């Protein structure tokens, strides 16, 4: 029986350069590795004949080696590395000159990079950046961050890859953050009551400024989220009115997980809306999910609430899933003067955020 490629050590190579005409166990080993990689060999087991040579050449072309049909050191090493499949051994950082190599390392790098953990160039060599990416991934998934990528780590990668699916890098990062979160607990949520300072915003019928009303709503959302174990961050104090760029900078600098901006009757069309970032067919999928969850929670209070894709500065300049809410509803002008109503709106927004985190 030829040894299986995974079992054979990478350090022991064929005794000499193998070429057409050679025979013996080293030839048998090379053939077994080629067959395992999907290169057919005719009835010449143990003997290096024409079909072994064309298999070697095809393999060399595929791996970017010069296709001379000979199995020297380099081709032998490539054969060993190509036979490594993810899961067949534990991968970790070894000292310089002894670093682990193989297609399993490359596959690990590919998967980490695809999830936004920077393991550097996908070169199939387990070096320092791969070690860093493995540890960061382990920390984020609640595994011991020891840098040893074994079954637990491979399983976690597999699970996340299936649940998260394909997407742009930024989207993957957002979905990953959400997937790794256990509910809203521990999440930093940036709450932005719009306007403030000299900018009072829209004046509702009883003559109360928008800047004040949205502050009260955001404050209520903040209290409800804090009660659920999240870390709410308000963009301003009740009297202040930083400009919008500054608010986005704060959200980004504080690495908020979500950003929510509150308006009231700012739009030309009447009716409550929750907007997520969208422009020319591109959109934030997670922003949309957040918008839908918040709109759903607001409907009992506000009636039909539209979810819209918009390219608003607050949505474009924040780096986390973000929404802009407009709380205007037909006939709620009177209610806006009442504290319990404002609190209920704020709590509904918090409920939507909790639903988003499942
Ligand atoms: Zn406004």
The CATH number linked to 325 is 3.40.630.40
What pLDDT does 15 receive? Answer: 54
pTM of the predicted protein model: 0.58
Report how far residue 275's alpha carbon sits from residue 323's, in angstroms, rounded to the nearest whole number: 5
pLDDT at 14 over 70: no
Token pair of 15 as six digits: 């005794």
What pLDDT does 326 receive? Answer: 95
Read off the pLDDT of each residue in 11-34 and give the average, rounded to a whole number.
84
Q: Looking at 55-64, 178-187, 227-236, 307-316, which range is the least confident one?
A: 178-187
What pLDDT does 300 receive? Answer: 94
Q: How far is the CA of 328 from the centre of ligand 1 (A)?
A: 10
Residue 261: strand pairing partners: 192, 324
Q: How far is the CA of 355 from the centre of ligand 1 (A)?
A: 25
pLDDT digits (tens, 9 = 90+) for 23-42: 999 999 999 999 999 999 98
Residues 205 and 265 grouped into a single domain: yes
Q: How far is the CA of 268 from the centre of ligand 1 (A)?
A: 11
Element (H, E) at 234: strand 231-234
Residue 179 inside a domain? The answer is no
For the chain, what percent of residues have pLDDT higher than 90? 63
pLDDT band at 284 (very low <50, low <70, confident <90, very high): confident
pLDDT band at 72 (very low <50, low <70, confident <90, very high): very high
Q: How far is the CA of 222 from the centre of ligand 1 (A)?
A: 19
Residues 110 and 2 grouped into a single domain: no
pLDDT band at 7 (very low <50, low <70, confident <90, very high): very low
Token pair of 169 as six digits: 């890098």
Report how far residue 153's alpha carbon sits from residue 134's, in angstroms, rounded to the nearest whole number: 8
Residues 32 and 147 grouped into a single domain: no
What pLDDT does 204 receive? Answer: 77
pLDDT at 91 over 50: yes
Residues 142 and 68 grouped into a single domain: no
Q: How far is the CA of 186 from the centre of ligand 1 (A)?
A: 29
Write down which residue in 54, 83, 112 finishes a domain. Answer: 83
Q: How far is the CA of 226 from the centre of ligand 1 (A)?
A: 25
What pLDDT does 225 receive? Answer: 95
- According to DSSP, the β-strands at 322-326 and 258-263 are parallel
CATH number, residue 15:
1.10.101.10
Residue 182 inside a domain? The answer is no
Residue 265 inside a domain? The answer is yes
Question: What does residue 228 show for φ and ψ, rounded to 5 degrees?
Answer: -90, 5
Q: How far is the CA of 44 from the centre of ligand 1 (A)?
A: 79
Q: How far is the CA of 10 from the centre of ligand 1 (A)?
A: 66
Q: How far is the CA of 227 from the centre of ligand 1 (A)?
A: 27
Residues 59 and 125 grouped into a single domain: no
Question: What does residue 278 show for φ and ψ, rounded to 5 degrees?
Answer: -155, 140
List, in sequence order, the alpha helices (H) in the chain: 25-36, 50-62, 73-82, 103-114, 128-140, 151-164, 169-180, 210-227, 244-253, 285-302, 313-317, 339-356
Q: How many Cα neighbours within 13 Å face the side chain of 197? A: 9
- According to DSSP, the β-strands at 273-279 and 322-326 are antiparallel
Residues 192 and 334 grouped into a single domain: yes
| Domain region containing 29 | 1-83
Residues 279 and 320 grouped into a single domain: yes
pLDDT digits (tens, 9 = 90+) for 39-60: 999 888 899 999 999 999 999 9
Q: How far is the CA of 244 from the centre of ligand 1 (A)?
A: 11
Residues 149 and 25 grouped into a single domain: no
pLDDT band at 181 (very low <50, low <70, confident <90, very high): low
What pLDDT does 330 receive? Answer: 77
Report how far residue 71's alpha carbon sits from residue 75's, in angstroms, rounded to the nearest whole number: 5
Q: How far is the CA of 308 from the centre of ligand 1 (A)?
A: 16
Q: How far is the CA of 193 from the centre of ligand 1 (A)?
A: 9
Q: How far is the CA of 131 from the centre of ligand 1 (A)?
A: 47
> Which has more confidence, 147 or 184?
147
Q: How far is the CA of 330 from the centre of ligand 1 (A)?
A: 16
- According to DSSP, the β-strands at 282-283 and 322-326 are unpaired
Q: Looking at 23-27, 283-287, 310-314, 352-356, which range is the least confident one?
A: 283-287
pLDDT band at 79 (very low <50, low <70, confident <90, very high): very high
Residues 94 and 126 grouped into a single domain: yes
Residue 117 inside a domain? The answer is yes
Q: How far is the CA of 63 from the centre of ligand 1 (A)?
A: 59
How many structural domains compose the chain? 3
Average pLDDT, the chain: 88
Neighbour count for residue 165 (Cβ, 10 Å): 10
């Amino acid at each position: 029986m030829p040894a299986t490629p995974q079992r054979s050590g990478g350090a022991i190579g064929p005794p000499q350069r193998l070429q057409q005409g050679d025979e013996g166990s080293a030839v048998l080993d090379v053939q077994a590795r080629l067959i395992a990689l999907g290169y057919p060999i005719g009835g010449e087991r143990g003997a290096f004949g024409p079909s072994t040579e064309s298999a070697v050449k095809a393999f060399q072309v595929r791996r970017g080696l010069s296709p001379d049909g000979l199995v020297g050191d380099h081709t032998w090493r490539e054969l060993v590395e190509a036979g490594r499949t993810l899961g067949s051994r534990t991968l970790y950082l070894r000292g310089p000159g002894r670093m682990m190599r193989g297609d399993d390392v490359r596959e690990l790098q590919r998967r980490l990079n695809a999830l936004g953990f920077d393991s550097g160039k996908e070169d199939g060599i387990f070096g320092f950046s791969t070690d860093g990416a493995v540890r960061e991934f382990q920390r984020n998934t609640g595994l011991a961050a020891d840098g040893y990528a074994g079954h637990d780590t491979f399983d976690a990668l597999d699970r996340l890859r299936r649940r998260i699916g394909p997407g742009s890098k930024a989207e993957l990062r957002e979905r990953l953050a959400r997937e790794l979160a256990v509910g809203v607990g521990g999440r930093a949520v940036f709450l932005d009551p719009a306007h403030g300072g000299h900018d009072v915003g829209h004046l509702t019928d009883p003559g109360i400024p928008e800047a004040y009303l949205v502050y009260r709503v955001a404050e209520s959302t903040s209290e409800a989220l804090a009660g659920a174990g999240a870390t709410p961050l308000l963009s301003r104090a009740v009297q202040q009115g930083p400009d919008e760029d500054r608010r986005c900078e704060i959200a980004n600098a504080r690495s908020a997980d979500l950003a929510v901006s509150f308006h009231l009757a700012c739009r030309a069309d009447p009716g409550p809306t929750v907007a997520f970032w969208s422009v020319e067919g591109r959109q934030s999928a997670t922003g949309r999910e957040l918008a839908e969850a918040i709109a759903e929670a607001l409907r009992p209070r506000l009636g039909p609430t539209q979810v819209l894709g918009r390219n608003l500065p607050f949505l474009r300049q924040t780096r986390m899933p973000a929404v802009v809410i407009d709380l205007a509803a037909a006939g709620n002008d009177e209610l806006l003067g009442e504290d319990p109503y404002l609190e209920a709106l704020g709590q509904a927004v918090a409920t939507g955020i909790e639903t988003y985190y499942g």
